[in-house]
Amino acid sequence: MDFHRTETFEAPLTNRPPSDDALLYRPTLPADFKRATQGLGVTGAIVIESNALLEDNQWVLNLAADNPLIVGFVGHLDPASASFPQHLARFAGNRLFRGVRLTGKSIAAGLSQPSFIAGLQNLADRDLGIDAIGGHSMFRDLAVLSDRTPRLRIVIDHLPFDTGADESAFRDLSSRPQIYAKVSGVLRREGDRTPLELSFYRDSLDRLWESFGRDRLLYGSNWPVSNRFAPYPSVLRIVREYFAGKGAEASERYFWKNALVAYKWVDRK
């Protein structure tokens, strides 16, 4: 069954990867995304900014103005900066601006800074959230952060990944209703190939399902980075098959309804 599907993807639209990275050292624009997803039922996308240049936030918002495919944008700002309130007020004036992305390293450093916590409270006051990107070492920091900012919605990017020794911290996060898991890091290399059979990934997907349930799992491809592993149709097929097995309602929640709650993206039809 095809659903209205809201996608989230990393956006090297403006990011500067190494110049020898043939996959990412180039502009990737909405037209490229439309070609990659043609015929797959993808009707909306949330752009996740990975570049720290301030004006790139505005560049993406300007791009979104002419591309209704973009239904939300998670920008890149430093909540600990003295200029954060000013910049947040500027960008949050655009309804497509839905929050900021933070690395695990910046979260760890920010927990001891009152200005950082105040900045995130400011986000929560505006009904915005954060995307958190990092490894299992950030799990405990995210728990502390959610205790200090209980109204802040948090999306953990690129699960499933190895949770390492922090199993208890992972279980703690999964019990918090304001924390969501973006299932955007499913495919991985095994030797010299990328397995494209659901059976290879079922255990890790089962673990996320058992932890976060049907109401807090979000779809994301991590396109175009996902092209390192497989073309977009293959990335989608694995999770589509898995969630189809959970029933129509679970699939709808995974592919768009949960993202609407987590991001409050804008229907631009």
The gap from C-alpha 173 to its chain's centroid, in whole angstroms, comes to 16
Least Cα distance to 12 among 60, 58, 68, 55 occurs for: 60
CA gap 91, 31 in Å, rounded: 24
Which pair of tokens denotes residue 237? 């097929």
In a domain? residue 253: yes
Least Cα distance to 186 among 139, 268, 241 occurs for: 241
What pLDDT was estimated at residue 218?
95
What pLDDT was estimated at residue 164?
58
In a domain? residue 16: yes
State the pTM of this model. 0.92
Least Cα distance to 25 among 33, 16, 34 occurs for: 16
In a domain? residue 171: yes
What's the residue count for the chain? Answer: 269
Q: Torsions phi, psi of 157, nearest 5?
A: -85, 150
Q: Is it the case that residue 225 has pLDDT exceeding 90?
A: no
Which pair of tokens denotes residue 249? 């309602």
CA gap 114, 231 in Å, rounded: 43
Least Cα distance to 147 among 126, 116, 110, 178 occurs for: 178
CATH at 14:
3.20.20.140
Percent of the chain whose predicted confidence (pLDDT) is above 90: 76
Question: At 5, is the pLDDT very low, low, confident or very high (cuts 50, 70, 90)?
Answer: very low
Type of residue at 157: D
If one compares 248 and 6, the residue with the highest pLDDT of the two is 248
Q: What is the mean pLDDT of residues 7-12?
A: 46
What pLDDT was estimated at residue 13?
42
How many folded domains does the chain comprise? 1
> Any bridge partners for residue 46, and if so which?
8, 72
Q: Terminal CA-to-CA distance of the chain, rounded, Å?
A: 21
Query: From start to end of 16-111, where are the E strands?
Result: 42-49, 70-75, 97-103
In a domain? residue 269: no
- Give the model confidence (pLDDT) of 104-113 as tens digits: 999 999 999 9
Domain that holds residue 25: 5-263
- Give the model confidence (pLDDT) of 120-174 as tens digits: 999 999 999 999 999 888 999 999 999 999 999 999 999 997 655 578 899 999 9
In a domain? residue 268: no
